[in-house]
Amino acid sequence: MTNPNAAPSKVPWPPILYLAAIVVAAVLGLLYPLPWITEPLSDLLFAAGWLAVAGVVAIYYSAMQTLKRAKTTIRPDRPSEHLVTSGAFSFTRNPIYFANTLLMIAIGLITANVWFLALALIAAFATQKLAIVPEEKHLQARFGKKYIDYAKKVRRWI
């Protein structure tokens, strides 16, 4: 059984994974650019990318404010003090990781860099394995039935 007072991980994987994915996507885009969709669809994707950025800002703001109000940590390498289920956490159990993934997709659409789209999926998969699964075990050990009920109602991603 997981110690409910222990941190879910010793390493803050998500910021490391997403930053690495952004760097790799940018470098691959410069060294090995992949073909992109032509106009007028490319213009629509560019606009969709900026709409996604607006969504990312809203999700980040909601998640940060909700965590702040709950007086619990944002850090993935620290134990949660309270189970947060409101704000952005009412539609996804991982709004910050979802926003990180959406931001990478938005950058890919805005810059016409397919590598960002591919690396966003890889970063999301790695985040799920290295951060989300241990966090879920931590939350279940710490909050028990309250977390189990929340997890049944709210999806992991979207």
Q: Where are the domains of the chain?
A: 14-29+38-153
Q: What is the pLDDT of residues 21-42, one digit of tens each?
A: 999 999 999 999 988 888 899 9
Confidence of residue 4 (pLDDT cuts 50, 70, 90): low
Pick the closest to residue 52 from 109, 106, 100 (CA basis): 106
pLDDT in tens, 61-85: 999 999 999 999 888 888 888 999 9
Percentage of residues in the chain having pLDDT higher than 90: 80
Percent of the chain with pLDDT over 70: 96
Residue 58: what residue type?
A
Tokens of 120: 């966003």
**pLDDT tier at 54 (50, 70, 90 boundaries)?**
very high
Select from 74, 76, 79, 73 the least CA-distant residue to 7: 79
Structure confidence at residue 2 (pLDDT): 61
| pTM (whole model) above 0.85 | yes
Q: What Rg value do the Cα atoms of the chain yield, rounded? A: 17
Predicted confidence (pLDDT) at residue 100 exceeds the cutoff of 60: yes
CA distance 99 to 28: 22
Helix, coil or strand: residue 73: coil
Q: Could you tell me if 63 and 95 are in contact, meaning their C-beta atoms sit under 8 angstroms apart?
A: yes
Q: Grade residue 101 by pLDDT with cuts at 50, 70 and 90.
A: very high
